[in-house]
A and B are shown apart, each in its own frame.
Chain A
Amino acid sequence: MQVLPVGPEALLVDLDGHPDVLGAVAAVGAALRDARERGELPGVVDVVPAARTVLVTAPGDREALREVRALLASVDTAAVPDRAEAGSVELAVHYDGEDLELVARDAGCSVDEVVTLHTGATLTVAFGGFAPGFAYLSGLPAPLQQPRLDTPRPRIPAGAVGVAGEFGGVYPRASPGGWRLLGRLTEDAPVLFDPHRDPPALLQPGTTVRFRDAG
């Protein structure tokens, strides 16, 4: 574990190289959130787990970073949190994405086999970020783990279902993006992000996601 400075009021915990890096990220993120919920880190405002790192911010409270460091020294990065309460979600998809044939070609299989692989996997929300309600889904079958597009699209429609690197994802709203697109959620899909709901994001860390072929 490396702890890097991010200006005077934030730090980055870098867990790259850990044998179960997503588990370690989840463990560090959960330990910090739990401590904050117990009132131990009142200066901490954001805890942002990502693919290899956890960002911790403490605006206006540099001393809080000292407490964060002390806590990090005692975190068991192998203690992957039990997130059974995060629930499961099934999302119906029209598999008509613009990159379906590209993904099939790079996976060395047919388009139908891409759909079978994608619908056959049980994915898990590793972390959120990028845009409101966006969730990075781990557990993607190896043939579907493919690089981003060389040139991002200026506009991807809301509900687009894609893959990039080790993750799958669904765009909660229209945005630019470089993920390879497999399809789109059906019209009656659940709302992925609603700021008036608690919690606002449907897909929470630990939520399991399965995709279903809606034809």
Chain B
Amino acid sequence: MSRELVVTEVGPQALVVDRGRPGWAHIGVAAAGALDGPAHALAQRLVGNDPGAAGLEILLGGLAVRATAATTLALTGPPGGLRIRRPSAGERVVASHQPVHLAAGDVAVVPAPSSGLRGYLAVGGGLVVDALLGSRSADTLSGLGPAPLEVGTRLPLGAPTEVPALGTGAVGVSAVPEAVVVTVHLGPRDDWVDDAAGRLRRGTWTVAPTGDRVGVRLEGPELERSAARRGVELRSEGLVAGAVQVPPDGQPVVFLADHPTTGGYPVVGVVDPAELAVFAQLRPGSSVRFAPVATPVPSPS
């Protein structure tokens, strides 16, 4: 029998993700890939996969998958547990952040986390759905890559690359905080906002309920246009993940992995890449403060 995961229940959103497809922005294709990159990478390591392997990104749980062959799973992201249903033995609960062996026919259920938003499920051998432009990631903005999971979706598994080390116990992990301070590097268009550094440093914003993989909208003090730039339109220019864009209403949007590759509103700053993953996990209503820093482009040597 072929090695597969078969989806038997699905929650708000479950997507195939890997590290994404960087390098195609010039033809309008975003990198996409796991929003919480470190959590995805840890899950792959826990089951012994290559770091480029594909797994699942599960928004607010609700997913159940049946394994057609014996395999190993690991769930990462916010702390929590997996429920494993075995037809002959009922249901058991195992902690996240460790490898879990499944027998053929076992069903793994991912419940909603008690903090944060997105869990990452890795499977031994990885999910070997067709790759597009070097990646198996779904891109919710462009529709590229595998469709969101539905009941009945069958996900083929690759051959496990090595036997994962077991018996080490779960990796310690903290609950996702409800308030964060993130470093934001000013520019390229901080001069389009009146006292950008001061406003970013003083303000506290709330995560709006409309966030998705494209970006998270923040509600709070208005980032007002500087006098010199009022009534002027910026020409569309390239965007990066982590860009803090300021639309005309002054309420910032932090772009995430499925962002449009160009945008026409000024980007006041860019969230430090090492701190961006938290935006995959911040629930609506969480509070965000910024620590603005000036990071000039390095001079030629």
For the side of the interface on B, what is the size category?
Answer: 35 or more
B262 sits at the interface (CB 8 A): yes
Task: Give 1 or 0 for each of A156-184: 1 = CB within 8 Å of chain B CB.
Answer: 00000000010000000100000000000
Q: How many residues of A contact B (CB 8 A)?
A: 51
Please name all residues of chain B whose beta carbon is closer than 8 Å to the beta carbon of A50 when the two chains form the complex. Answer: 235-238, 262
Tell me the minimal C-beta distance from A100 to chain B in angstroms. Answer: 24
A55 sits at the interface (CB 8 A): yes
Please name all residues of chain B whose beta carbon is closer than 8 Å to the beta carbon of A69 when the two chains form the complex. Answer: 297-300
Contact between A57 and B240, CB atoms less than 8 A apart? yes
Q: Report Cα–Cα, A128/B261, bound state, in Å.
A: 9
Task: Give 1 or 0 for each of A22-58: 1 = CB within 8 Å of chain B CB.
Answer: 0000000100000000000000011111111111010
Given known A-B contacts A11-B297, A50-B235, A53-B238, A130 and B26 have beta carbons under 8 A apart: no
Contact between A51 and B238, CB atoms less than 8 A apart? no
Please name all residues of chain A whose beta carbon is closer than 8 Å to the beta carbon of B298 when the two chains form the complex. Answer: 62-63, 65-66, 69
A214 sits at the interface (CB 8 A): no
Contact between A48 and B26, CB atoms less than 8 A apart? yes
A141 sits at the interface (CB 8 A): no
Please name all residues of chain A whose beta carbon is closer than 8 Å to the beta carbon of B301 when the two chains form the complex. Answer: 66, 70
Among residues of B, the one whose C-beta sits closest to the C-beta of A66 is: B298
Q: Report Cα–Cα, A51/B263, bound state, in Å.
A: 11
Among residues of B, the one whose C-beta sits closest to the C-beta of A6 is: B188
Contact between A48 and B273, CB atoms less than 8 A apart? no
Q: Report Cα–Cα, A47/B237, bound state, in Å.
A: 12
B296 sits at the interface (CB 8 A): yes
Of A9, A133, A199, most B-chain CB atoms within 10 Å: A9
Please name all residues of chain B whose beta carbon is closer than 8 Å to the beta carbon of A49 when the two chains form the complex. Answer: 26
Please name all residues of chain B whose beta carbon is closer than 8 Å to the beta carbon of A73 when the two chains form the complex. Answer: 300
Contact between A129 and B236, CB atoms less than 8 A apart? yes
Please name all residues of chain B whose beta carbon is closer than 8 Å to the beta carbon of A196 when the two chains form the complex. Answer: 132
Contact between B28 and A52, CB atoms less than 8 A apart? no
Q: Return the contact of B238 from the options A48, A60, A133, A165 (Cβ within 8 A).
A: A48
Please name all residues of chain A whose beta carbon is closer than 8 Å to the beta carbon of B273 when the two chains form the complex. Answer: 7-9, 59-60
Q: Report Cα–Cα, A133/B301, bound state, in Å.
A: 37
A211 sits at the interface (CB 8 A): no
Tell me the minimal C-beta distance from A171 to chain B in angstroms. Answer: 11
Q: Report Cα–Cα, A11/B261, bound state, in Å.
A: 15
Please name all residues of chain A whose beta carbon is closer than 8 Å to the beta carbon of B22 when the two chains form the complex. Answer: 45-46, 57, 59
Please name all residues of chain B whose beta carbon is closer than 8 Å to the beta carbon of A47 when the two chains form the complex. Answer: 26
Given known A-B contacts A8-B272, A134-B28, A70 and B240 have beta carbons under 8 A apart: no
Interface residues of A (CB under 8 A from B): 3-12, 14, 16, 29, 45-55, 57, 59-60, 62-63, 65-67, 69-70, 73, 127-134, 165, 173, 193, 195-196, 199-201
Closest 7 CB pairs of A and B: A55-B238, A7-B270, A48-B238, A4-B188, A70-B300, A51-B235, A129-B262
9 CB contacts below 8 A, A to B, read: A3-B297, A5-B187, A5-B296, A6-B188, A48-B25, A55-B237, A57-B22, A129-B238, A132-B28
